[in-house]
Protein backbone atom coordinates (compact mmCIF):
# COMPACT_ATOMS: atom_id res chain seq x y z
CA UNK A 1 0.00 0.00 0.00
CA UNK A 2 1.24 3.53 -0.87
CA UNK A 3 0.40 6.51 1.34
CA UNK A 4 0.39 10.01 -0.17
CA UNK A 5 0.79 13.42 1.44
CA UNK A 6 3.17 15.29 3.68
CA UNK A 7 6.05 14.85 1.32
CA UNK A 8 9.13 16.23 3.05
CA UNK A 9 11.26 18.61 1.05
CA UNK A 10 14.91 19.28 1.66
CA UNK A 11 15.53 22.49 3.60
CA UNK A 12 16.77 25.39 1.51
CA UNK A 13 20.38 26.33 2.14
CA UNK A 14 20.80 29.92 3.28
CA UNK A 15 24.25 31.45 3.11
CA UNK A 16 25.17 34.63 4.94
CA UNK A 17 28.07 36.94 4.31
CA UNK A 18 29.10 40.45 3.52
CA UNK A 19 30.64 42.49 0.77
CA UNK A 20 33.59 44.49 2.13
CA UNK A 21 35.65 47.46 1.02
CA UNK A 22 38.68 48.63 2.96
CA UNK A 23 40.09 52.16 2.81
CA UNK A 24 42.80 53.56 5.10
CA UNK A 25 42.33 50.71 7.57
CA UNK A 26 38.56 51.24 7.79
CA UNK A 27 36.17 48.56 6.51
CA UNK A 28 32.74 49.29 5.03
CA UNK A 29 30.35 46.34 4.72
CA UNK A 30 27.08 45.31 3.11
CA UNK A 31 25.56 42.24 4.77
CA UNK A 32 23.65 39.71 2.69
CA UNK A 33 22.04 36.31 2.60
CA UNK A 34 21.69 33.99 -0.38
CA UNK A 35 18.81 31.53 -0.58
CA UNK A 36 18.24 29.74 -3.84
CA UNK A 37 18.51 32.36 -6.56
CA UNK A 38 17.82 35.34 -4.30
CA UNK A 39 20.42 37.69 -2.90
CA UNK A 40 18.98 39.64 0.05
CA UNK A 41 20.86 42.87 0.75
CA UNK A 42 20.29 43.46 4.44
CA UNK A 43 22.37 46.20 6.02
CA UNK A 44 25.24 48.51 5.16
CA UNK A 45 27.71 49.67 7.78
CA UNK A 46 29.96 52.57 6.81
CA UNK A 47 32.53 53.98 9.26
CA UNK A 48 31.98 57.66 10.02
CA UNK A 49 35.28 58.64 8.41
CA UNK A 50 34.24 57.05 5.08
CA UNK A 51 30.72 58.49 4.85
CA UNK A 52 30.17 60.76 1.88
CA UNK A 53 33.06 59.22 -0.04
CA UNK A 54 30.90 57.09 -2.33
CA UNK A 55 32.02 53.83 -0.76
CA UNK A 56 28.45 52.78 0.08
CA UNK A 57 27.45 53.28 -3.56
CA UNK A 58 30.42 51.19 -4.62
CA UNK A 59 29.33 48.40 -2.26
CA UNK A 60 25.76 48.53 -3.62
CA UNK A 61 26.95 48.51 -7.24
CA UNK A 62 29.34 45.62 -6.54
CA UNK A 63 26.59 43.55 -4.93
CA UNK A 64 24.14 44.25 -7.76
CA UNK A 65 26.74 43.47 -10.42
CA UNK A 66 27.52 40.21 -8.61
CA UNK A 67 23.82 39.33 -8.56
CA UNK A 68 23.54 39.99 -12.30
CA UNK A 69 26.66 37.96 -13.10
CA UNK A 70 25.25 35.05 -11.09
CA UNK A 71 21.73 35.36 -12.53
CA UNK A 72 20.14 36.14 -9.18
CA UNK A 73 17.23 38.28 -8.11
CA UNK A 74 17.69 40.82 -5.34
CA UNK A 75 15.55 41.35 -2.24
CA UNK A 76 16.37 44.84 -0.97
CA UNK A 77 16.09 45.31 2.79
CA UNK A 78 18.87 47.88 3.26
CA UNK A 79 17.53 51.46 3.03
CA UNK A 80 20.73 52.71 1.40
CA UNK A 81 20.54 50.13 -1.38
CA UNK A 82 16.86 50.99 -1.90
CA UNK A 83 17.81 54.68 -2.30
CA UNK A 84 20.68 53.73 -4.63
CA UNK A 85 18.25 51.82 -6.86
CA UNK A 86 16.00 54.87 -7.18
CA UNK A 87 18.78 56.67 -9.06
CA UNK A 88 20.10 53.62 -10.92
CA UNK A 89 17.23 52.13 -12.93
CA UNK A 90 19.65 49.93 -14.88
CA UNK A 91 19.40 47.49 -11.98
CA UNK A 92 15.60 47.45 -11.72
CA UNK A 93 15.34 44.12 -13.56
CA UNK A 94 17.12 42.42 -10.66
CA UNK A 95 14.73 43.52 -7.93
CA UNK A 96 12.08 41.11 -6.67
CA UNK A 97 8.62 42.56 -7.11
pLDDT digits (tens, 9 = 90+) for 31-52: 999 999 999 999 999 999 999 9
Q: Which domain holds residue 90?
A: 18-94
Whole-prediction pTM: 0.83
Number of separate domains in the chain: 1
- Per-residue burial over 5-35, b if 16 or more Cβ lie within 10 Å, else e, is eeeeeeeeeeeeebbebeeeeeebbbbbebe
Side by side, the strands of the sheet bearing 73-76 are 14-23, 26-35, 38-45, 73-76
Least confident range of 11-15, 47-51, 58-62, 85-89: 11-15
CATH code for the domain in which residue 88 is found:
3.40.630.30
Decide if 41 is inside a domain.
yes
Decide if 88 is inside a domain.
yes
User: Average pLDDT for residues 51-59, to the nearest whole number?
Assistant: 93
Amino acid sequence: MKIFGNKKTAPELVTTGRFELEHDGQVATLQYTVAGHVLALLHSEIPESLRGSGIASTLAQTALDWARANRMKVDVVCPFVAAFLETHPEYSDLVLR
